[in-house]
Structure 1
Amino acid sequence: MLSAEDFALLDAIRETGSLSQAAVRLGKAPSTISYAARQLEERFDALLFDRRRYRLQLTPAGELLVQEAARLMQDLSRLTQRVQQVANGWESRLWIVTDELLEFDTLLPVIREFDTLNSGVPLRMTHEVLKGVWEVLLEGRADLVIGATNEPPSIPTLRWFQLGVMDWVFAVSPKHPLAKASEPIERAVVMQHRAIVVADSSRVTEGRTYGVSGGQPVLAVPTMRAKILAQRDGLGVGWLPRHRVGSLLSSGALVEKQMADPREPNILYVGWRGDHEGRALQWWLEQLKQSHLANRLVQGSDQFY
C-alpha cells in the first residue's frame, strides 16, 4: 500500500516535472528523491516515470497510480473521520424513516440545524406507509421512525412517544357524484364508488387500508400526494389529512362531505430501538419532543403543491 510520503512524491513529480524541483518542494535532497522514485518503481515492477524528455513525466501506469492513490487517501481520511466520530459517540450513519403522511419539507429546517453540529453523521431519509413504518424498525432497516400511525407493535427494546394527532376530512372532487350527495353520507352509499388508497409498504404482513369497505372497488396509489391528486381529479373518494388539503378545500378543488361514520383522528408516533442510541439519534429525539416542531410536522402546510 502507498504511504503518504509515496503519494507526496508522485504528486510533486507530476506537478513540477523535475526530480530536483520535487526535492525542493518536499524539502529533501535530489538524490533522496531519485532513490525513492526508483524504489517505488521496483516495488510495483513497472515504469512509472518517463525520463526520456527534458521534463519528467508520469507514464500511464504512473498516472493511474497517482489517481488511485488519491482516491485511497481520501477513503482513508473518511475512514479515520468515521472511526473518530463513532469513538466519540456519534453513529456512522443515521437512517430516518417517515410515514408518507408527513410532508418532507417540514423536516428541512431540522436537517439544516443538524448540519450545524458538524457531527460527520450522514443522514438517510426514506418513507414507508402504514405497517411498513414499524416494520423497518423490526427488521433493523431504520434507526428512527417519525409519524407512524398504527399503535407501536411488540418489538424488543422498542421505545416510542406520541408525536401528535392528525385530523382527517372526507373530500371529493366537485365533479364526483358524491359531491352533490345528501349528508351525512352513509357507508353503503360510499361503497358504490371507488376508493383511493395509499398502498401499504409492508413486506412481511398483509397490507392495511383505512376507510375501505369489503367489496368496494379500490385504486391503490404510491403516495399521499398521488391520492390527493386522484381525488381532486374525480377518480375516487376517501379520507385525506386535513392539513394537506386546506388550500384545495378553500379553492373548491375539493369538497368536504359530512359522513355518517366519521373517521377518528390518528395518533402519530416516534419510535426507535433503545439499544442503539447514539448522539445523533438522541439529538433528533430531543428536537421531536419539542411541541413547536411536533405541531409543524403534524399540521404541515395547508398549501398543496
Structure 2
Amino acid sequence: MSSKDLDIETLSIDQLQVFMAAAEHGSFSAAARALGRTQSLISYAVQRLEEQVGLVLFDRAGYRPRLTEAGQALLPRARRIVGEVSAFHALSRGLSAGVEAEVCITVDAMYPMCLLLRALLDFRDRWPAVSPRVLVGNMGAAVEQVLDGHSLLGLVNPVATQAPELELRPAAFITMVPVAAPHHPLARHEGELLTEDLRDHVQLVLTDRATRLSQPDRGVFSSQTWRLNDLGAKHSMLLAGLGWGGMPEHMVRDDLTAGRLVQLPSPYWDPHRTLPMSVAYRRDARLGPAAQWLATHLSSLVDEAVPTPGAQRVQKHAAA
C-alpha cells in the first residue's frame, strides 16, 4: 500500500494507544494486561494499524516483538498525537466548566524567580490545560499592566497601593542591600559610608517606565546617577564596577558569598527593612478558577524562605 492509498480518517486514537502500549510494555500480552483487553485484540489492532500505514511496526521473529525502524520512527509521532488529543479533551472540558484557556501575569523584576517557578510548577500540575503567560515589568509599569487589563494578575511592589482599583494580597518581602564590586572605591572604604562618602560616586538607579503610577526615588544619595530600566542590566553593571546601588538580597547572595560583590556598610540602609510585594488584580475583574487558584497559591508563599539559584543547584545535586 502506498502513502497515497492511506486514508488517515481510518486511523483511530485507540490504535495509536495500543501501538504505544505494546512498544512501552515490550509485548502484546503485557500491553493487553495494561489496557485490560485480550491479547488477540491487541494483536489485531496492531496488525490493522500496520495494514493501514503500509509498514511493519513490530518484528515478531523473536520471543518478544521488537520495534522495527519504521516503528521507532512513528512511535514519537503517535505519542504526540495522543498527547494533543488528550490536551484537546482536557481543555474542552475545562472551558465548558468555566476554566480559562490562559492566565496572564505580570511580574515585577524584584520578585524572587524561584518562588514564581515553584508556583508555576504547582500550577501546571493543578491546571495542565491552562497556559500561563508571564510578562516582566518594573515598579509602576508592572502595576499599569494589571490596571489596563493587559494582565489579569500581577506580582507588584508597594506602588500598587496608589491604585484603589486593585485588590492586593501579600506575596513576599524583599530585603534590599547596597552593593558594589570589590574593586570599587566604596568597597575599600574603612568604616560606615556616610552621605558625603556616597554622593561623589555614580549610583545605579532602577527607573520606572510607568506613565501614571510612578515611584519617587528612594535610597538615592549620589549626585551622579545612571538610570536603568532593567534589573539584569543593573546587576551586570554593578559586577563590572560601573557604580554602586541597591539590589534584592536574594539576587546577589551568591555574588556576595563568592566575593564578586561587596555589601556596603551604611547607616542609611536598615538591614531589617523589607520591600513588600503583593499579588494584585482589579477588584472588578472576573477571575476564573485557575486565576483564583494561582492568586491564592502565590499569596500562600509569602512566608517562604527565598533561596538563590546557586543554593537550589546545590540542593538538587545533594538529593541526586
Which residue number corresponds to residue 39 of structure 1?
none
Gap change, CA 1:118 and 1:16, over 3 Å in 2: farther
2-structure distance, mates of 1:108, 1:216: 38
Structure 2 length as normaliser, TM-score? 0.63
- The one-letter code matched in structure 2 to 1:280 is A
Which residue number corresponds to residue 16 of structure 1?
5
Secondary structure of the residue aligned to 2:155 is strand
- The one-letter code matched in structure 2 to 1:16 is D
Matches for 1:217-228 after TM superposition, within 5 Å: 217-228=224-235
Which of the residues 288, 294, 298 maps onto 1:288?
298
Matches for 1:163-202 after TM superposition, within 5 Å: 163-202=171-210
1-structure distance, mates of 2:213, 2:240: 32
Which of the residues 258, 261, 265 maps onto 1:251?
258
1-structure distance, mates of 2:118, 2:91: 25
Matches for 1:130-149 after TM superposition, within 5 Å: 130-149=139-158
- How many pairs align? 236
2-structure distance, mates of 1:120, 1:302: 28
State whether residues 173 and 234 of structure 1, in contact with CA within 8 Å, keep that contact through their aligned partners in structure 2.
yes
- What is the identity percentage for the equivalent residue pairs of Structure 1 and Structure 2? 20
Unaligned runs of 5+ in 1: 1-12, 27-77
- The one-letter code matched in structure 1 to 2:171 is L
Cα deviations by residue, 1:255-294 (Å, 9 ceiling, x for unpaired):
112213125321111111233221011111221232xx33
Which of the residues 257, 269, 272 maps onto 1:262?
269
Which of the residues 100, 117, 135 maps onto 2:109?
100
By how many angstroms is 1:109 displaced? Answer: 3.0
Structure number with bigger Rg: 1
State whether residues 201 and 207 of structure 1, in contact with CA within 8 Å, keep that contact through their aligned partners in structure 2.
no
Cα deviations by residue, 1:236-261 (Å, 9 ceiling, x for unpaired):
01111112211211222211122131
By how many angstroms is 1:119 displaced? Answer: 5.0
1:159 aligns with 2:167: yes
Which residue number corresponds to residue 24 of structure 2?
none
2-structure distance, mates of 1:138, 1:110: 23
2-structure distance, mates of 1:260, 1:202: 30
State whether residues 106 and 146 of structure 2, in contact with CA within 8 Å, keep that contact through their aligned partners in structure 1.
no
1-structure distance, mates of 2:246, 2:118: 29
Gap change, CA 1:164 and 1:111, over 3 Å in 2: closer
2-structure distance, mates of 1:152, 1:248: 32
Gap change, CA 1:303 and 1:79, over 3 Å in 2: closer
2-structure distance, mates of 1:110, 1:236: 34
Cα deviations by residue, 1:162-213 (Å, 9 ceiling, x for unpaired):
1232112111111111112233211232121111122323144556443224
Gap change, CA 1:202 and 1:148, over 3 Å in 2: same
Which residue number corresponds to residue 69 of structure 1?
none
Which residue number corresponds to residue 287 of structure 2?
277
1-structure distance, mates of 2:286, 2:152: 8
